[in-house]
Amino acid sequence: MTAPREFTYVGTRPIRHDGVDKVTGRASYGADMTWPGMLHGFVLRSPHAHARIVSIDTSAAEAMPGVQAVITGRDLPETTAKIALGEAAIDLRDIGDNVIARTKVLYHGHAVAAVAATTLDIARRAAETIAVVYDVLEPVMSIDRAIAADAPILHPAMRTKGAAAGAGEPSNVASRMELKRGDLDAGFADADLVVEREFRTPMVHQGYIEPHACIARCGEDGRAVVWCTTQGPFVVRDACAAITGLDPAHVKVIPSEIGGGFGGKIVVYLEPLALALSRKAQRPVKMVMGRDDVFRATGPTSGSKIRVKLGAKRDGTFVAASASLWYEAGAYSGSPAGAGAMCALAPYRIANFFIEAYDVVVNKPKVAAYRAPGSPIAAFAIESVVDEIARELKIDPIELRFKNASEEGDRAPYGPKYGPIGLKAVLDAARNHPHWRAPLGANHGRGIAVGFWFNAGMNSSATVTVNADGSAAVVTGNPDIGGTRAAQAIMVAEELGIPVDRVRSNVGDTDGSGYTDVTGGSRVCYATGMAVIRAAEDAREQLRARAATIWNVSKDAVEWTDGRAIPPPATEKASAMTVAELAAKMTHTGGPIVGRASLYAPMAGPAFGAHICDLDVDRETGCSRVVRYTVFQDVGRAVHPSYVEGQMQGGAAQGIGWALNEGYVYSADGVMENAGFLDYRMPVASDLPMIDTVIVEVANPLHPYGVRGVGEVPIAPPLAAVANAMRDATGIRFTELPLSPPRVLEAIEAATAIPVQV
């Protein structure tokens, strides 16, 4: 952006375009679709966390009246292809094996067979008759066990990519990467204070309300249609085609409304099974996961072990840091350990550092993206140690962070120099906010933490159609999980100069929209928004050309102001024309007006946030309650401030739940024991105060409006902000999450126990 731009619609808060359909129940979600002749599918899942499949006998199920098709892993071809599944290239052999096991089950709930029948009850009963013989193996349920010398190996062919030594031996460590700069030993030798801690976090789930659901039809000609709840219809198309052996050109994917995703609805689970069953039965097949299957068999985010060491001078200057990050990948490689390494030290200028990150397979479900994947875990460890440094040096924790904060021109730990970034502006807003100086009550503690996400770019396409009445319609291929349809309508209104309520915003299917990468990485308002702006500009230029035709002047002589074409001075019998007036004449001036744009956007401007948390701790029960919470974030430019605030509040709420209560609980033999919302304790509205928000806007020069991604940064700071508040309230530094009442009470009682005199 060369100069500040005055906006008419950007920054306003129109009512969301999809709101009425959702509150009245008219919106169609994944499980809402019904097709003629439809069958119901059910998945048989493994009762073991780690076992070889000796044999599967499906004959009894196939003979049951009402059963139309039964499949096992033998019915799907193996593939070695890789596709851009979301934000990284993924091995489709692993994805296919995760969809349905072929020779070995690798977690409790791993699919081993699927049945399609005329009713769901018949399909379920038929699945129960399938006889599977297992050779049960020892499950690997922790990072420590996975990396032990005598650990069972999940994948005999796996070798550690990036290993310095020993890469030739089978391993449960899928990969290792490192980032480094300067002289680490000299840096720590120069430090006046060094703090070193080890931290652990459990696997946690995204907690979307709507379970995975789809309906698929594969016709006699091999052409297929899939309706499903997804964050990326093109991902579903390409993955389903590869896993089932179909031609991608013959697969059409229609995204439904989505009842939450947060990264967890990128990977395919049911869709290839529904297609394979439909191909075999020659009828449509509908499949919907139960909530326990969602927890047991879809991707949570990683559990972790992190070792952090941070050195500082007496004046608070950070001089050296090292971090070892071990992330659980679940049954197949692909944890966000690398992203965690990139984010860990991103907020700070540190001359000497070393970061290593390990991707470790264990007998748990394959992890999936969860809102800033990898960043919250790393921030929990780093920001807890930063808090310790501030306490030891008796420096205000915001001032310590401000002193060491990255700014424009600094080089990020992962390589490039930062452009304009807003971390210092965010910290300045936090230290000047009334929350930071407000008095605390008894048993209350206050914590602060910062967080980072680099935000993605990738491929996006958009079309903007101008209708004969002067209204417009915009179509993109990004499912809307955060208000992006409203933001895109605002962008079209801004460029054409028509009211927002005259713009209809739509999510297209894979045949009706240009190729567009997944809704994730905080990329949609940024990257797809750029495509929408360019498509609207294209439509606007066509309108200018139509005006030039009407006035018999050159297009360059026509100006565009406030939604009107302005004729050149002294043009005879010519006056300004609105979009509606020009659109009404389009049939006679060249035909329909459709603006188009496709682009590959560079990685979006990185973004930072800071959170302040006040926590009330009951020292007699260990129960804690967030009593005040404020989120500060550099958003670049808030296109629709209400949705930006909602993203900030939603991320904070999820992070608070992660910090205080959430976590997968497994038995010794690998069975998840809290696979449901009654036992997996997520915060509800009554658990939280009103989460206050402060929007900071430091324009991102890569975007025409200055937009940065906003959806992922707000989940990065809460784990540490809550933990730092707990330290302030109790005097105890907790290094393992969640901070559940039993864990907190045990620590309080241990800290206050009177030593026994011998």
Sheet (strand 213-218) strand order: 67-72, 111-117, 39-45, 285-288, 213-218, 224-228, 251-255
Residues 153-171: what's their mean pLDDT?
88
Tokens of 112: 């081993």
Residues 675-688: what's their mean pLDDT?
95
DSSP symbol at 500? G
The kind and range of the H/E element at 16 are: none
At 66, the amino acid letter reads: G
Residues 230-243: what's their mean pLDDT?
96
Task: Give the whole-angstrom CA distance, residue 388 versus residue 375.
Answer: 20
**Summary count for the chain: helices (H), strands (E):** 21, 28
Residues 532, 492 contacting (CB under 8 angstroms): yes
Confidence (pLDDT) at 1: 42
Q: Establish whether domains 33-137+209-260+265-297 and 304-455+603-750 are of one fold.
A: no
Rounding to the nearest 10 degrees, give the CA dihedral for residues 276, 280, 284, 289: -40
Q: Which residues contact 453 (CB under 8 A, 6 or more apart)?
A: 343, 372, 375, 522, 606, 607, 709, 712, 713, 716
Residues 73-95: what's their mean pLDDT?
77
Residues 551, 574 contacting (CB under 8 angstroms): yes
Residue with the two structure tokens 């971390």:
423
Task: Give the whole-angstrom CA distance, residue 567 versus residue 555.
Answer: 10
Residues 714, 652 contacting (CB under 8 angstroms): yes
pLDDT band at 165 (very low <50, low <70, confident <90, very high): low
pLDDT (tens digit per residue) in 33-72: 999 999 999 999 999 999 999 999 999 999 999 999 999 9
Residues 657-680: what's their mean pLDDT?
97
Confidence (pLDDT) at 757: 65
pLDDT (tens digit per residue) in 171-227: 999 999 999 999 999 999 999 999 999 999 999 999 999 999 999 999 999 999 999
pLDDT band at 5 (very low <50, low <70, confident <90, very high): confident
Report the relative pairing of strands 285-288 and 173-181 from DSSP bridges. Answer: unpaired
Q: At what angle do helices 375-393 and 397-404 cross, to 10 degrees?
A: 110
Q: Which residues contact 354 (CB under 8 A, 6 or more apart)?
A: 178, 179, 180, 184, 321, 322, 323
At 560, is the secondary structure helix, strand, or coil? strand
Confidence (pLDDT) at 138: 98
Q: Where are the domains of the chain?
A: 19-25+457-601, 33-137+209-260+265-297, 304-455+603-750
Task: Give the whole-angstrom CA distance, residue 544 versus residue 116.
Answer: 56
Choose among 257, 644, 697: nearest CA to 482. Answer: 644
Fold type of domain 304-455+603-750 = Aldehyde Oxidoreductase; domain 4 (3.30.365)
Confidence (pLDDT) at 511: 98
Confidence (pLDDT) at 650: 98
Residue with the two structure tokens 């919250």:
376
Average model confidence (pLDDT) for the chain? Answer: 96
Choose among 335, 315, 314, 340: nearest CA to 325. Answer: 340
Confidence (pLDDT) at 16: 87
Confidence (pLDDT) at 3: 54
Residue with the two structure tokens 């906010």:
433
Task: Give the whole-angstrom CA distance, residue 307 versus residue 197.
Answer: 6
Confidence (pLDDT) at 2: 43
Residues 126-152: what's their mean pLDDT?
98
Confidence (pLDDT) at 79: 80
Residue with the two structure tokens 């993206």:
369
Task: Give the whole-angstrom CA distance, residue 599 versus residue 534.
Answer: 9
pLDDT (tens digit per residue) in 415-453: 999 999 999 999 999 999 999 999 999 999 999 999 999
Q: Which residues contact 6 (CB under 8 A, 6 or more apart)?
A: none
Residues 393, 313 contacting (CB under 8 angstroms): no
Q: What percent of the chain has pLDDT over 70?
A: 98
What count of residues does the chain have?
Answer: 758
- Mind giving me the DSSP string for 677-742? TTTS----GGGS--EEEEEE----TTSTT-----SSGGGSSHHHHHHHHHHHHHS----BS---HH
Choose among 537, 540, 522: nearest CA to 478. Answer: 522
Task: Give the whole-angstrom CA distance, residue 101 versus residue 95.
Answer: 10
- Model pTM score: 0.97
The segment with the largest mean pLDDT, out of 77-81, 115-119, 520-524, 567-571, is: 115-119
Angle at the Cα of 577 from the Cα atoms of 572 and 582, rounded to 5 degrees = 115
Q: What percent of the chain has pLDDT over 90?
A: 94
Residues 629, 656 contacting (CB under 8 angstroms): yes
State yes or no: pLDDT of 404 exceeds 80: yes
At 97, is the secondary structure helix, strand, or coil? helix
pLDDT (tens digit per residue) in 600-643: 998 878 999 999 999 999 999 999 999 999 999 999 999 999 99
What CATH class is the domain 33-137+209-260+265-297? alpha beta
Choose among 644, 618, 624: nearest CA to 633. Answer: 644
19-25+457-601 belongs to CATH 2.60.40.60: no
- Mind giving me the DSSP string for 618-642? -TTT--EEEEEEEEEEE-S--SSHH
Alpha-carbon distances of 473 from 27, 504, 561, 604, 643, rounded to whole Å: 19, 5, 21, 26, 21
State yes or no: pLDDT of 758 exceeds 80: no
Task: Give the whole-angstrom CA distance, residue 106 versus residue 550.
Answer: 69
Confidence (pLDDT) at 604: 73
Residues 329-333: what's their mean pLDDT?
97
Residues 343-369: what's their mean pLDDT?
98
